Structure 1
Amino acid sequence: MASQTYNQKNQKNLPIGVVSVPFPMQGHLNQTLLLSNLISSYGIQVHFAGSTTHNQQAKQRLHGWNQQNIHFHDLQLPNLNSSIPPLFNEKTTEFPSHLQPLFDASLNLRQPMFKLLQELSLKYRRIIVIHDTLMAYVVQDLKFIPNAESYALHSVSAFAIFFHIWDSLSDGKPFELDDDIPNCRDLLNEGCLTQEFKEFIALQYKALDFESGRLYNTCRLFEGRYMNLLEKLPTNANKKLFAMGPLNLVDINRTNPSKIRHECLEWLDKHDKNSVLFVSFGTSTSLTEEQITELAIGLERSDQKFLWVLRMADGAQFSAEDYMNKKNLLEGYESKVKHKGMVVTDWAPQLEILAHSAIGGFMSHCGWNSSIESISMGVPIIALPMHSDQPKNSIFLRDVLKICLLVRKWEKRDELVRWDVVENCVSRLMVSKEGEEMRRRANELGRKVRDSVEIGGTSYLERDSFITHISR
């Protein structure tokens, strides 16, 4: 008894520690590591626990921040029974078929994760476990650790997650929605995910009964209304919700100026303000060869400057750059458009690109990482959503923030986007009065978002509130 009392008193003198548990997919890895960096900047030790491959991937692709006071723990995934997908898909397949073996394998991390949490719990008076919502199954045993407390990190917009939960309520709606809230519920549920992934998500949400709060990579400045709606939902009763974003750096120029710059940034330096369209569709989808051809023609015919990051999707066992580094995807095209366009086929620093003064628009899949980076850098968007939360994000950007053009309606997602549609959208954003007005709104919103993370700003205060809460 005396020994136990001594240990309890001794533990009270220990610091708190944070354990970050990412989901092994780039958009999720990125947000978890960015949040880890943010927390470590308060002088709190952070332990980042993921697979060896994905820990390395997250560090390599991190924009701008050096990892300080973060300890990486490499956990071993079982061998995956999946082959490398082809360079191009002959037809679009539902997301995320090519990654499902990886997601299923991640469930095997439950036991090693619990062992790690037990070990770390002895070193701190309290361990704060911040886990991706899609890793709830893996960390669920932390409820057996007396000094552990957990927070779920949602990697999508408050808008998207609100409607995901709202649609799933089977016992009736707890309150009425205002008439001016965009109605995306009937349009955007079909074709977003495979049945296998829906079941995987359901498994995670079934385990979500132990967390003390939920974290969002968003800012109340532009999603405050939807954060408030989330707080009203019965599923969030007795949960603390924090809008911690934008997690990405908002002043990328504060990074080390002596580092080697990517060649595309040198190319952008030669162009006028707002004169270049940035084109990139993320790490989770490979476009068909036919669609790439239509995009290529449309970009060329628009007669606008463009920077196109053209890569295949990350696979279950590799990152895209491991498989197709600097591969020429469009033979002869680069030389044909060299006076107006640049094509990059390796990893490119997206945040630095969006922050460059030459960028006047962004053609994007509207993954939430890309969306919030574009918002914080004040860049309007041409949206071509492809799966998961992306259709909802595009509706939010278009109908709520009014800084987005939509290439096609979601119900026409299986149709090829022809070059003339691409040409029209590019011209509307880059050289029309409509596009100029969107650019003005995006620029003003970006300025306000950047101000929100400064001392006294909305996001600054919210982050401080979370740190104060976990450090109590």
Structure 2
Amino acid sequence: MGSQQIDIVMLPFMAHGHLIPFLSLATQIHHRTGFNIAIANTPLNIQYLRSTFLQHQNPPPWIHIFELPFNSAGHGLPPNSENTENLPLDQIGKLVISSVSLKTPFHNLLLDIIKKQGKPPLCIISDVFVGWVVEVANIMNTVNITFATGGAYGTLALFSFWLNLPHRKTDSEEFNLPGFPERCKFHVSQLHEFMRKADGNDSWSRFLKSQFSSSLQSFGWLANTAEELEPLGLDSLRKYTQFPVWPIGPLLPKQLLNKSPLSSSSSTTQHAGKSPGISAEKCVEWLDMHDLASVLYISFGSQNTVSRSQMMELAIGLEKSWTPFIWVIRPPLGFDLKAEFRSEWLPEGFEARMKESNQGLLVKNWAPQLEKLSHKSTGAFLSHCGWNSTMESLSQGVKIIG
């Protein structure tokens, strides 16, 4: 830390889709205010963030990175499992619950900061999933701000569902969520199986109700969205929480918002620590060979995949359509997402035919997404509709198939 004062301390949840928006938020705050900012997380997640700065040789002097000790095996998780990447749902649940173990080391980190600079930071910005930070901030005599990395509408739906479990209070398959207008109906088919089973006594319900209730005690919220994009969502979220909600999105590189060519450093900042299955340069070269708005980009996010039969049918349909495509492909459901991809999961000879005809480009595991969405040849995006992907696609006017 040296002699430099830390003005803001941030604690993201342990997932890439949360780490990256927090890093982007830190950058924007510094550029507007000059504040020095600390980001704390588990060792492997800090490695992800540090790898971002390796592109520039050193972290900028205004950002400070702190590791919080974490033992994944002690929480029934595989070795070196410190974020949601490649974890099945049952283990994601264990990871979510394990985040409470960071409370004591985070408390000690703040004590150390206060001891060195003689006063607490101006505020602590924490993730919605770590509501226990509100209590720590109060003990440290500072302010807690909760940051919702998702959209306002989705965040409200998530909070209202877990705090109320409205599907358990009706015999109908349709239900209303407190905080939403009466005309907004939700259907049980829209819920994942583990949400349908939630009854208030399961581990997900107990943990999330506790953390979300605590997050509602913070001074105010930041949301990765824009007033023009979600007027209903923001209005409803403000009424539900009864405190300020400030939209600060979209947290995307300025070049992307201005539709300027995206630099490699901006892309790296958005995807800290990931190793692409193919270089960004090769993806751009492939896209350059195709017509304006002719390419379908396919990606289901870093934590999702499809069944083997769906994968097979999608490949057959793509080939018959003659539509150019880039497909970020991972092992299907039921297989280790970190395993090597097998050709048997696709039609025989599919990858070779796509390569020979230049119709399709298969990217194993992960590839930088911003370059594809901002390229003039990309015309549509077949997506799982995660919030970061949605914001990126909307910013470029690329049609989304969800």
What TM-score, normalized to structure 1?
0.65
Q: Which residue of 2 aligns with 1:255?
A: 263
1:295 shift after superposition: 1.7
Q: Which residue of 2 aligns with 1:127?
A: 122
Distance 1:200 1:336, change over 3 A: farther
Please give the secondary structure, in 1, of the residue aligned with 2:398. Answer: coil
1:261 shift after superposition: 3.6
1:283 shift after superposition: 1.2
Q: Which residue of 1 aligns with 2:83?
A: none
Q: Per-residue displacement from partner, 1:230-282 (whole Å, max 9, x unpaired)?
A: 1122xx22x22110100122524253589974321221111111000000001
1:74 shift after superposition: 1.3
Q: Which residue of 1 aligns with 2:193?
A: 191
Q: Which residue of 1 aligns with 2:210?
A: 203
- After superposition, residues 153-302 of structure 1 pair within 5 angstroms as 153-167=147-161, 168=163, 177=181, 179=183, 182-184=184-186, 187-189=189-191, 191=193, 193=195, 195=198, 196-233=203-240, 236-237=241-242, 239-252=243-256, 253=261, 255=263, 261-302=280-321
Cα distance in 2, alignment partners of residues 204 and 344 from structure 1: 37
Please give the secondary structure, in 1, of the residue aligned with 2:7. Answer: strand
Q: Per-residue displacement from partner, 1:197-241 (whole Å, max 9, x unpaired)?
A: 3333222113225411101110111112221121122xx22x221
Using the TM superposition, name which of 261-270 and 323-332 deviates more.
323-332
Cα distance in 2, alignment partners of residues 248 and 192 from structure 1: 32
Q: Per-residue displacement from partner, 1:120-164 (whole Å, max 9, x unpaired)?
A: 235256432111110122563221112x11111112221122334
Cα distance in 2, alignment partners of residues 290 and 174 from structure 1: 38
Please give the secondary structure, in 1, of the residue aligned with 2:185. Answer: coil
**Matching of residue 21 in structure 1 with residue 11 in structure 2:** yes
**Matching of residue 376 in structure 1 with residue 370 in structure 2:** no
**Contact 1:281-1:364 within 8 A present in 2 as well:** yes
Distance 1:166 1:141, change over 3 A: closer
**Contact 1:143-1:210 within 8 A present in 2 as well:** no
Cα distance in 1, alignment partners of residues 384 and 31 from structure 2: 31
Gaps of 5+ in 1: 1-13, 85-93, 384-472
Please give the secondary structure, in 1, of the residue aligned with 2:291. Answer: coil
Letter in 2 for 1:27: G
**Contact 2:145-2:219 within 8 A present in 1 as well:** yes
**Matching of residue 364 in structure 1 with residue 383 in structure 2:** yes
Distance 1:67 1:139, change over 3 A: farther
Using the TM superposition, name which of 192-201 and 347-356 deviates more.
192-201
Please give the secondary structure, in 1, of the residue aligned with 2:306. Answer: coil
Please give the secondary structure, in 2, of the residue aligned with 1:23. Answer: coil
Distance 1:149 1:312, change over 3 A: farther
Q: Which residue of 2 aligns with 1:91?
A: none
Cα distance in 2, alignment partners of residues 135 and 27 from structure 1: 15
**Contact 1:219-1:245 within 8 A present in 2 as well:** yes
1:165 shift after superposition: 4.3
Letter in 1 for 2:36: Q
**Contact 1:107-1:138 within 8 A present in 2 as well:** no
**Corresponding residue pairs, total:** 348
Distance 1:254 1:121, change over 3 A: farther
Please give the secondary structure, in 1, of the residue aligned with 2:382. Answer: strand
Gaps of 5+ in 2: 80-86, 170-175, 269-278
Q: Superposition RMSD on alpha carbons, in Å?
A: 3.4
Cα distance in 1, alignment partners of residues 68 and 342 from structure 2: 32
Distance 1:102 1:379, change over 3 A: same
Cα distance in 2, alignment partners of residues 263 and 362 from structure 1: 19
1:32 aligned to 6, 22, 25, which one? 22
Q: Which residue of 2 aligns with 1:49?
A: 40
Cα distance in 1, alignment partners of residues 44 and 59 from structure 2: 17
1:367 shift after superposition: 0.9
Q: Which residue of 1 aligns with 2:65?
A: 72
1:173 shift after superposition: 8.5
Cα distance in 2, alignment partners of residues 356 and 275 from structure 1: 11
- How much identity, in percent, do the aligned residues show? 29
**Contact 1:117-1:142 within 8 A present in 2 as well:** no
Q: Which residue of 2 aligns with 1:416?
A: none
1:184 shift after superposition: 3.3
**Matching of residue 111 in structure 1 with residue 113 in structure 2:** no
Q: Per-residue displacement from partner, 1:303-345 (whole Å, max 9, x unpaired)?
A: 21100001359xxxx9x6xx44787664732112222100001
Cα distance in 1, alignment partners of residues 321 and 59 from structure 2: 41
Cα distance in 2, alignment partners of residues 326 and 189 from structure 1: 29
Cα distance in 2, alignment partners of residues 176 and 256 from structure 1: 41
Distance 1:380 1:70, change over 3 A: same
Please give the secondary structure, in 2, of the residue aligned with 1:337. Answer: helix
Distance 1:326 1:352, change over 3 A: farther
**Contact 1:26-1:58 within 8 A present in 2 as well:** no
**Contact 2:156-2:237 within 8 A present in 1 as well:** yes
**Contact 2:381-2:401 within 8 A present in 1 as well:** yes
Please give the secondary structure, in 2, of the residue aligned with 1:251. Answer: helix
Distance 1:341 1:173, change over 3 A: closer
Letter in 1 for 2:350: Y
Please give the secondary structure, in 1, of the residue aligned with 2:122. Answer: strand
Please give the secondary structure, in 1, of the residue aligned with 2:130. Answer: helix
Please give the secondary structure, in 2, of the residue aligned with 1:262. Answer: helix
Q: Which residue of 1 aligns with 2:140?
A: 145
